[in-house]
Amino acid sequence: MTERHLDKTPTILRKIVDRKWEEIDERKPKVSLADLKAMAGDQPAARGFANALRSRIEQQTPAVIAEIKKASPSKGILRDPFEPAVIAESYENGGAACLSVLTDHDFFQGHEDYLVAARNACSLPVIRKDFMVAPYQVYESRAIGADCILLIAACLTKDQMQELEGIAHEIGLDVLVEVHDGEELDDALTLTTPLVGINNRNLHTFEVSLDTTFDLHERISEDRLTITESGIMTRSDVEAMTGRGIFGFLVGESFMRAPEPGEKLRELFY
């Protein structure tokens, strides 16, 4: 099979990826790769992100990855004041299975400190939501206490994804691979991770269609866990998914806009 070309990658994603390489170059003189590897090795055992999802999905109960996100490039500020520790606690009380914390500085106004604060405030496993392009970031994720990383197929080749997944698993991190279409899914299914996220947002038009999850889920074997991402706004959206056998969810924006994110989670899912 020929390598999937990334020249069709949406402009915003290309811009973010270029910035990631600059960030890595800026960070390396301050914290070397060797230092990060040592810090990653000193971390206690990860909390088991995939297992937390699997235990609920196998019971056919919604497994919600609740997102902590201050802003987005398209919507601007989503939550102000923004207190990651308070939000994490609220999500845990609301029944979340896991947390997702944005750590991208320039485009999502995130920070690594937000992940640390959120994780310290609860007992849930946490995914670092960022744009992984190099091994340096994988070790950095473990060093700051993440339990899982995100690999976005739209900005990585199959070989890059396989390399980053190999490092992640070697150091005890779970991996969630995110896809937007069938071509990306083909590459994602060459990975060993059971976690496959299907993003319902078209990266070119920004339109959201839950049919993306319905269509691609058909091609994912039962030993893997489908996580639907973007566009889950109402109880009927949730029921449309569970009715098709999809019990993994990643939700952020609708929670971030609610006064009590955990209460909103409970209302939507339980």
Q: What is the DSSP letter of 41?
A: H
- The residues facing 196 across adjacent strands are 177, 226
- CA gap 256, 236 in Å, rounded: 20
178 is a catalytic site residue: yes
Q: Which is nearest to 212 in space by CA: 243, 180, 189, 187? A: 180
What's the angle, vertex CA 110, arms to CA 91 and CA 126, rounded to 5?
A: 40
In sequence order, the 6+-apart residues with CB closer than 8 A to the CB of 84 are 68, 101, 114, 115, 117, 118, 121
Active-site hit among 100, 229, 254, 264: 229
Task: Single out the catalytic residue among 100, 178, 200, 264.
Answer: 178
Q: Catalytic residue among 199, 200, 254, 264, which?
A: 199
Helices 84-94 and 112-120, axial angle in degrees (round to 10): 50
Helical (H) or strand (E) element with 201: none
Based on the residue annotation, tell me whether 229 is a catalytic residue of this protein. yes
> Is 8 marked active-site?
no
Q: Which amino acid is at 270?
A: Y
| Active-site option among 23, 129, 140, 141 | 129
Candidates 23, 67, 92, 140; catalytic one: 67
Using the Cα atoms of residue 187, residue 193, residue 199 and residue 200 in order, give the sign of their dihedral: positive
Q: Show Cβ contacts of residue 148 under 8 Å, excluding neighbours closer than 6 positions.
A: 46, 49, 50, 98, 125, 126, 127, 128, 173, 174, 175, 176, 195
Please choose, from the candidates 185, 227, 195, 251, the residue with its C-alpha nearest in 3D space to the C-alpha of residue 48.
195
Question: Is 67 annotated in the active site?
Answer: yes
Q: Which of 140, 230, 254, 264 is catalytic?
A: 230
Q: Which of 20, 37, 69, 264 is labelled catalytic?
A: 69
Helices (H), ranges, 144-194: 158-170, 182-188
Show which residues are catalytic: 67, 69, 129, 178, 199, 229-230
